[in-house]
Structure 1
Amino acid sequence: MNLRQALKSDLQPEHDRVDERMGALDLTNRADLGRFLQVHFSTWSALDAVGDEARHALETRVSSLDKDLATLGVPARPLPKITVHDHSILYMAYGSKMGTAVLRKRWLRATDPTVRLAQEFLTLPDDHHAWNRLCSTLAKEQSDTENAKTVLAGVRTIYALFSKSMASVGGEYFSQ
């Protein structure tokens, strides 16, 4: 099994759990949008990248989230910094844009003008070319190499950060 396949199959339960909990939020509602943005800010701002591409992906997300939280008047809740493999960051950053596109459609139905002004994160452009390039790179590596195990562990760590962020933002909204 290659690394791309392993990331998809081995981490499906974590992926489904985060998607289910985040997808339950009503992004047309100011409080729920604030929680959604806080969780993302806490998670993305906790990650530290080594390479330029992953660093740029993080900076873009954190900057847009910071602006949106300020628009809503919601405090940012940073977590302590951790470093994971750059491919782990890129896999989650590029891959999560597909889920965000679905949530963006819901957010667009908001009638609250302040909710609509908090648009930076949800309107970040997709980078399908970068996603496809990354998937191609991951597919070339077998999942049993040390590097692949490090990437898998990094993605698992990012999912754990999402769970930790959900608990710190308001566990009652994300409990299942």
Structure 2
Amino acid sequence: MDDILARAKSDLRVLGVRPNHMPFDASQALHPLALDYVIAGSRLGTQVLKRRWTAATDPLTQSASAYFSAPTYIEFWRGFCQQTETILGTDPVAKVVLKDADRIFEFYNACARSARKSLGVLHV
């Protein structure tokens, strides 16, 4: 997590973007498996975005290479899968993990809406 965060911050500096700190409601702790699911899973999704980044022709975009050149960290995804393969969907733990993962995705959504709004994108 520290590596990915440092890489994202580096790219934002290269792009001249100041991070917008969105508050996250941490009044309720998140289940560790929810964090693992979102963070490790996002590395898989990043591979799709990486293809778009690689195809970019803007030199500034190309210079922001730290995040997309990070390792896949596939071992974290595999570890998540091993930890959860025996948890049934009806298990109370599964319900907590899903609820907490949903909280994280809602936070991501709020961040995306905020960024789009600050860039003047009408459909947020």
Pairing 1:175–2:123 present: yes
* Counterparts of 2:83 and 2:19, CA distance in 1: 34
Question: Which string of whole-angstrom CA distances, capped at 9 and with x for unpartnered residues, describes residues 5-34 of structure 1?
Answer: xxxxxxxxxxxxxxxxxxxxxxxxxxxxxx
Structure 1 residue corresponding to 2:8, chosen from 65, 70, 86: 65
Equivalent AA in structure 2 for residue 129 of structure 1:
E
Runs (4+) off by over 4 Å: none
Which residue matches 1:155?
101
Describe the superposition over 1:100-148 as per-residue Cα deviations: whole angstroms up to 9, x where unpaired.
1111111112222221111111121112222122112111112233322
Change (3 A) 1:143 1:64: same
Which 5+ residue runs of structure 1 have no aligned equivalent?
Answer: 1-56
How many residues are paired up? 119
Alignment of 1:69-84 (within 5 A): 69-81=12-24, 82=26, 83-84=29-30
Give the aligned CA root-mean-square deviation in angstroms.
Answer: 1.9
- Following the alignment from structure 1 to structure 2, what is the Cα–Cα distance between the partners of residues 138 and 175? 37
TM-aligned CA distance change 1:175 to 1:162, over 3 Å: farther
**What are the within-5 Å matches in structure 2 for residues 3-152 of structure 1?**
57=1, 59-81=2-24, 82=26, 83-152=29-98
Larger Rg: 2
Alpha-carbon distance, 1:174 to partner:
7.9
Name structure 2 gaps, 5 residues minimum. Answer: none
What amino acid maps onto 1:138 in structure 2?
Answer: T
CA distance in 2, matches of 1:88, 1:128: 17
Structure 1 CA distance for aligned equivalents of residues 122 and 45 of structure 2: 17
CA deviations 1:67-97 (Å, max 9, x no partner) are: 1111010110112243422211111111111
CA distance in 2, matches of 1:174, 1:149: 35
Q: Which amino acid aligns with 1:165?
A: C
